[in-house]
Amino acid sequence: MPLRDEAEEKLIQSTEVSLALTGKTPGEIIHELQVHQIELEIQNEELKKAHQDLEDSRDRYIDLYDFAPVGYFSLTKETIISEVNLTGANMLGMVRYKLLNTRFRTYISLGNQPLWDSFIFTILNHNEQQTGEFELIRKDGAGFSARIEGIRVEKIDGSIQVRIAMSDVTQCKRVEKDLRESEKRYRMLIETLNEGVWVIDKDSITTFVNPRMAEILGYTAQEMIGKSLFSFMDEQGQRICTQNLERRRQGIKEHHDFEFLKQDGTMIYASLEATPIIDEDGVYRGAIAGVADITDRTYAEKALHESNQKLRLLTNLTRHDILNQICAVKLLQDMALDTSDPVKLQEYLSRTLETANLIEATIGFTREYENFGVVSSGWQRIFPIIESAKTEISPGSITIHNQIPESLEIYADPIIRKVFTTLMENAIRHGKNIQNIRFLSSEFEDTLLLICEDDGIGITDEEKDRIFDHGY
């Protein structure tokens, strides 16, 4: 039926229009019709604008739908693809229309198909959104990783539809894999370092140590985690550490040596390279330190220092002894030149030979210098040491009594032999009317006394205060 005929038919059937026009003049009726015509034209313009807005909105929706960064698929409950956007089609490497009416399952990798079946079953039997990750196959056979989010939707006609959003996470997976491998290499490096690694938080609580760090202190790594840094040091170390941590809080990185307390109670020397951990807001979050055990090196340095001290002392003593003996040789030589008595000449020559033997013995003792710094302190038998020291002196008529028990041992440095030699030489040189030198031992409570005494004139009171001064 033509549009005009349909309108006239409706007009005839309409009582409202007939009543509205009853009693009106033709001019009034024409005016009403003209107003009504204008209203219709305005309505028509509004309808055209609304129609255009709808088309624009539809176009925007289509653009958003088709060119969204994720693929959108609408599936039947049998997982047949009924709708797909351009992004989804591009992900699978296919033209969109060729994907329609195909089963989505065919694009799931063979190994992931059972997982997909379980995923779809869960969606169809639950109202909540489900998420899963799958390996898919493109048309060209290349695989890629995708994260799929799906939900069941019931349409107006009662049919069930599955809507899914698919994101390509291949690059993310690759980055995650690279990150895991990097972390694995980093952890392997940290765990196999010959240097300890120690991490604390802002409250100085241990959050990480590598196996080497735990080994240095005699713990396992698990035993150290959660413990305060201060529990691994003595009181003096805690005071020093408090000052060091304040510098970490100020962002100061530094290298320093430190003493730590091991689990067995012994102390170790360590060299630290400490660095503060500062977050992006500039807030102190803790510190990390590389720790090297330098205990052996420190003891070696101390031993070297002590050896140098001993060598300087022995050199001074030996030089002093040899110079004294050389003076004696010169004196005997002068006396021999001045006498014409054959008996005295023989005596002077004999004493000169004796003094020369003493010089030789003194020089022979210097061979033991080679052991200083190599041979450390140890248990020494005193009786044979004194007997050996006696060979370096010329006692003349003086009797030396060694009354030390032959089995007596003390913990001492090998240099102690020179101590006994010096004691005897000083007694002989300064004792004047001395006849006897005696070595003996005595125990007093828990103390062992080694005694050297003689029957000479002794030491004056004013000299006793100076006797242990260097160079006296």
Residues 273 and 341 in one domain: no
Confidence class for position 140, pLDDT limits 50, 70, 90:
very high
Domain boundary pick from 141, 174, 207: 174
> Rounded to whole angstroms, what are the CA distances from 85 to 65, 69, 76, 97, 285?
6, 10, 16, 10, 48
Instruction: Dump pLDDT digits (tens) for 122-134.
Output: 999 998 999 999 9
Per-residue confidence (pLDDT) for residue 75, from 0 to 100: 94
344 and 419 fall within a common domain: no
In the prediction, which pLDDT does 472 show?
58
pLDDT given for residue 406 in this prediction: 92
Strand partners, 197: 290
| Residue 431 resides in a domain | yes
The enclosing H or E element of 381 equals: strand 378-381
- Pairwise pLDDT comparison (146 vs 325), residue with the higher score: 146
Asked if the model's pLDDT at residue 63 lies above 70, the reply is no
Whether residue 303 sits in one domain with residue 240? no
pLDDT at residue 18, as a whole number = 54
pLDDT of res. 304: 78
Q: Is residue 182 part of a domain?
A: no
**DSSP reduced 3-state for 70:** coil
Q: Say yes or no: 470 and 383 in one domain.
A: yes
Q: Where is pLDDT greater, at 315 or 224?
A: 224
Give the residue ranges of DSSP H helices in 415-460.
Answer: 416-430
Total domain count, the chain: 5
Residue 272 in domain: yes
Among 95-109, 179-193, 329-343, 440-454, the range scoring the smallest mean pLDDT is 179-193
Whether 420 is in a domain gets the answer: yes
- Among residues 233, 259, 293, the one where a domain terminates is 293
Please give the residue that has the higher pLDDT: either 154 or 324. Answer: 154
Query: pLDDT tens-digit profile of 417-452?
Result: 888 988 898 888 888 889 999 999 998 888 899 999
**How confident is the model at residue 421, as a pLDDT?**
86
- Give me the mean pLDDT over the 20-26 stretch: 66
CATH number at residue 113: 3.30.450.20
302 belongs to a structural domain: yes
How many other CB atoms are there within 10 angstroms of residue 301's CB atom? 12
Task: Let me know whether 86 and 34 are in one domain.
Answer: no
The whole-angstrom distance between residue 66's C-alpha and the CA centroid of its chain comes to 51
311 Rama sector, left if φ>0, alpha if ψ -120 to 50, beta otherwise? alpha
Domain boundary among 319, 347, 376: 376
Asked if residue 106 lies in contact with residue 116, where contact means CB atoms within 8 angstroms, the answer is: no
Q: Are 201 and 288 in a shared domain?
A: yes
Question: Are 260 and 309 members of one domain?
Answer: no
pLDDT-derived band at 242 (thresholds 50, 70, 90) equals: very high
233 and 197 fall within a common domain: yes
Q: What pTM does this model have?
A: 0.46
Q: Is residue 131 domain-resident?
A: yes
With cut-offs at 50, 70 and 90, classify the pLDDT of residue 82.
very high
Which CATH number fits the domain that encloses residue 309?
A: 1.10.287
Same-domain check for residues 394 and 454: yes
Same domain? For 152 and 241 the reply is no
- Retrieve residue 364's tokens: 């022979």
pLDDT at residue 50, rounded to an integer = 75
23 within a domain of the structure (yes/no)? yes
What share of the chain has pLDDT > 90, as a percent?
46
Residues 315 and 267 in one domain: no
Helix axes 416-430, 295-338, angle to 10 degrees: 30
For residue 463, give the CATH number of its domain. Answer: 3.30.565.10
Mean pLDDT to the nearest integer, 77-82: 92
Does 373 have pLDDT greater than 60? no
Q: How far apart are CA 472 and CA 461, in angstroms?
A: 15
Tokens at 457, concatenated: 């004139």
Which tokens in the block code for residue 218? Answer: 């005699």
Q: Is 285 in the same domain as 313? A: no
Which of the residue ranges 7-11, 30-34, 232-236, 429-433 would you say has the lowest mean pLDDT? 7-11
Domain that holds residue 275: 193-293
Per-residue pLDDT at 260 exceeds 90: yes
DSSP per residue over 265-327, as a string?
S-EEEEEEEEEEEE-TTS-EEEEEEEEEE-HHHHHHHHHHHHHHHHHHHHHHHHHHHHHHHHH
Q: Give the chain's mean pLDDT.
A: 85
The reply to whether 181 falls in a domain is no
